[in-house]
Amino acid sequence: MSNFEFQKVNSRVIRSGDNYLAKVDSAESFSSIFVDEETTYGVSVRDAQMQTGDSTYTPAMAFTYSMEDGSVRFIDVVVCPLLGTFVSDWY
């Protein structure tokens, strides 16, 4: 991968290292990820750059949510004005 934190794979998928994120098209599919209203989530946010071509990029915001349920798990959400919103699986 390049110096960019995220790389566009196709119009529906981006990646960061070995972590792939899928495009989210609706609030319903996004909210289904956070299934337990009783759970407290931690969140961190940072500015990111997403590679869209050989040497081109677009700005994005990267959110990492954490949840503790016996172990600590994380999920990444990337919001890019140009490409959309993407989400990883819990890891």
5-63: pLDDT as tens digits: 999 999 999 999 999 999 998 888 878 887 777 888 899 999 999 999 888 999 999 99
pLDDT at residue 2 greater than cutoff 80: no
Q: Answer whether residue 64 is part of any domain.
A: yes
The single residue listed with the structure tokens 């993407």 is 86
Q: Answer whether residue 2 is part of any domain.
A: no
Q: Answer whether residue 42 is part of any domain.
A: yes
Q: Answer whether residue 44 is part of any domain.
A: yes
pLDDT at 3: 66
- Domain range for residue 83? 7-90
Q: Answer whether residue 1 is part of any domain.
A: no
Tally the domains of the chain.
Answer: 1
Specify whether the CB–CB gap between 63 and 47 falls below 8 A: no
